[in-house]
């Protein structure tokens, strides 16, 4: 490969530094989808935040009756599919996979602006804490979810994170066993849906269409020559996009899962780094990897020395099965497959408005 000229490298370096100096810091978290051989699909994400964000894993069976938690005008539904989710503070589903291999990940998006919810209006409401759970409960594929959500039969309703002055602004990414992807964002009060199998990476700000534009620019620069290395969301997007295509394409579970973990770790923020008064340049608190072909869900906490997992094939998702929980919020250490360690527990309550 021909080496870039000194002038090219200097100009690119100045451009890169200027972009970092004059672009405001952006929120954290990264999500990436791997596509290996023979239909092997894996979705990984990092959860980054300025302080500890306690996470527990839950087994949620079929047949649970839910409400949107926004008062009398809440949407109501019964879960069609069972799921394994990771919660934030046991008040929201931040991440998860259902028994059909549909994965859902919510990430921060500061630019989000949601429609005004009328408690007495014709549209039902769903609290933002249930956004990902609604998808996991009701759909087996990305196409099903897109076709339903594009009808806008309900309004996502948000509020401040309890006990803080941080207004919750999220976007939602979903992927399925077939490798399809969709991103849902609320921009200027309107739902924007990006649906394409190629949308394998998502971070935070800027909005997804701008993330794609930034990545298009970097594709003209070989990733083996230079990649943006800061913890800014745009830079993590570029690195994730390059590395998820560079790792081996295989259907060997051991190699594929290890490779995907290496990518999401590369895009994580080192522990102990944060910016005061901002949930943006923030440490990675935990990571998940969802093997959608084999239905195995992996979890890794930054403050524990190992990774553990749960095999969904060993779980009871029947409508008469109990809700079960695996505590991970106090940095408990588990080894290997943990389905038998989940304990029957009273369901957590989604944060309402």
CB within 8 A of 251, min separation 6: which ones?
36, 37, 38, 40
Q: List residues bridging with 48 in a β-sheet.
A: 284
Indicate the burial class of 311 (C-beta count within 10 angstroms; 0-12, 13-18, 19 or more).
middle
> Do 260 and 44 meet the contact criterion of CB atoms below 8 Å apart?
yes
Residue in the block written with tokens 């930054």: 302
Closest C-alpha among 105, 136, 86, 89 to residue 308: 86
> Do 328 and 311 meet the contact criterion of CB atoms below 8 Å apart?
no
For 339, list phi and psi in degrees, rounded to 5. -55, -35
Positions annotated as catalytic residues are 29
217 three-state secondary structure: helix
Burial track 54-64 (b if 16+ CB lie within 10 A, e otherwise):
ebbbbbbbbeb
Closest C-alpha among 295, 338, 324, 340 to residue 61: 324
CA 273 to CA 270: how far, in whole Å? 6
């Amino acid at each position: 490969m021909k080496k870039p000229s000194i002038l090219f490298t200097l100009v690119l370096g100045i451009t890169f530094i200027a972009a970092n100096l004059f672009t405001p810091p952006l929120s954290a978290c990264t999500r990436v989808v791997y596509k290996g051989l023979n239909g092997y699909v894996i979705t990984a994400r990092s959860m980054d935040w300025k302080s500890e964000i306690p996470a527990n894993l839950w087994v949620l069976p079929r047949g649970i009756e839910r409400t949107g938690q926004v008062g009398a005008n809440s949407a109501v539904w019964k879960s069609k599919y069972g799921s394994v989710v990771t919660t934030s503070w046991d008040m929201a589903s931040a991440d998860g996979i259902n028994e059909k291999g549909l994965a859902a990940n919510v990430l921060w998006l500061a630019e989000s602006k949601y429609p005004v919810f009328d408690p007495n209006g014709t549209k039902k409401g769903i609290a933002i804490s249930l956004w990902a759970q609604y998808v996991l409960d009701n759909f087996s594929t990305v196409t099903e979810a897109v076709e339903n959500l594009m009808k806008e039969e309900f309004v996502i309703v948000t509020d401040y994170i309890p006990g803080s002055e941080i207004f919750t602004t999220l976007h939602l990414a979903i992927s399925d066993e077939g490798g399809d992807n969709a991103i849902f964002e609320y921009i200027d009060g309107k739902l924007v849906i990006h649906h394409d199998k190629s949308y394998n990476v998502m971070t935070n700000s800027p909005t997804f269409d701008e993330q794609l534009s930034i990545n298009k620019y970097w594709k003209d620069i070989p990733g083996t020559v230079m990649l943006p290395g800061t913890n800014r969301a745009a830079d993590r997007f570029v690195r994730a996009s390059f590395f998820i295509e560079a790792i081996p394409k295989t259907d060997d579970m051991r190699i594929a899962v290890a490779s995907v973990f290496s990518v999401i770790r590369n895009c994580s923020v080192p522990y102990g780094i944060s910016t005061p008064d901002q949930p943006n340049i923030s440490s990675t608190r935990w990571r998940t990897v969802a093997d959608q072909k084999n239905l195995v869900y992996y979890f890794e906490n930054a403050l524990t020395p190992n990774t553990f997992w749960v095999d969904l094939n060993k779980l009871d998702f029947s409508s008469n099965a109990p809700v079960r929980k695996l505590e991970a919020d106090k940095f408990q250490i588990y080894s290997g497959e943990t389905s038998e360690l989940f304990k029957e527990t009273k369901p957590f309550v989604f944060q309402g408005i």
